[in-house]
């Protein structure tokens, strides 16, 4: 009985260590991307939501696979280790490819332009702020999860780019962009705002102000 309790405790400790490793993997991912894209004129660096979610999923699976490997090594379970070996051969290249593609999916804001790169995109798109005709801000209540907040840039060529919900998920980072929009004297229209805006943090109140 005591041995079973000890084994259970060891498994829990290994699992907690695994989650800690996963957390630091995610932090390292963010820091590597910021370092890679940093520059003197760079105001905001953000991963896109798609790239971020895919890396979260793949890194979590990587940690769980590592956990299973360590557990079966400790138990000296050779049949399981042979099966895990095949899984490693398949999964590790996929993990590296998805990580590389996720790092390639980003949005960078400088004082003069917005630079975006897609998940499968080889190059990057540069859109100067002097091509932005107007900005619209739209809040949509979602009773099934997070509320939807869209900060749309409307360009002179008729195209539209959304940079809040799908790209910049940090409100303080978006505020930097919003202040830059004001500096460039680009018209902004708030289509919808939260009903209890005055109860929200001052950052959101400033973003929703016209």
Domain residue extents for the chain: 2-103, 124-208
195-205 pLDDT, tens per residue? Answer: 887 887 888 88
- Give how far Cα 141 sits from Cα of 130, 137, 178, 193, Å: 32, 13, 22, 9
pLDDT for the residue numbered 55: 83
25 vs 208, higher pLDDT:
208
**Quick check: 105 and 174 in contact, CB under 8 A?**
no
Confidence band of 166 (pLDDT split at 50, 70, 90): confident
Confidence band of 92 (pLDDT split at 50, 70, 90): confident
Confidence band of 80 (pLDDT split at 50, 70, 90): confident
Q: How far apart, in whole angstroms, are the C-alpha atoms of residue 71 and residue 81?
A: 10
Contacts 24+ apart (CB under 8 A), 119-122: 119/48, 119/50, 119/51, 119/54
Q: How far apart, in whole angstroms, are the C-alpha atoms of residue 108 and residue 96?
A: 23
pLDDT for the residue numbered 154: 94
Tell me the whole-structure pTM to 2 decimals.
0.71
pLDDT for the residue numbered 68: 84
Max CA distance (Å), the chain: 73
Q: Give mean pLDDT, residues 83-103.
A: 86
**186 is written with which tokens?**
């680009």
């Amino acid at each position: 009985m005591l041995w079973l309790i000890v084994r259970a405790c060891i498994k829990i400790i290994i699992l907690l260590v695994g989650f800690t490793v996963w957390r630091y993997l995610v932090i390292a991912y963010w820091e590597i991307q910021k370092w890679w894209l940093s520059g003197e004129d760079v105001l905001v660096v953000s991963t896109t939501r798609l790239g971020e979610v895919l890396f979260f999923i793949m890194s979590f699976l990587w940690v769980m696979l590592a956990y299973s490997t360590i557990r079966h090594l400790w138990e000296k379970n050779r049949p399981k280790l042979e099966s895990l070996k095949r899984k490693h051969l398949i999964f590790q290249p996929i993990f590296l490819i998805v990580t590389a593609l996720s790092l390639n999916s980003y949005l960078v804001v400088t004082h003069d332009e917005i630079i975006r790169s897609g998940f499968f995109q080889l190059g990057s798109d540069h859109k100067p702020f002097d091509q932005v005709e107007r900005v619209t801000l739209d809040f949509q209540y979602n009773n099934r999860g997070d509320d939807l907040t869209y900060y749309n840039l409307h360009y002179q060529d008729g195209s539209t780019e959304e940079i809040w919900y799908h790209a910049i998920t940090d409100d303080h980072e978006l505020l930097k962009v919003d202040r830059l929009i004001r500096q460039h004297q680009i018209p902004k229209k708030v289509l919808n705002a939260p009903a209890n805006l005055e109860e929200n943090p001052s950052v959101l109140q400033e973003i929703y102000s016209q």
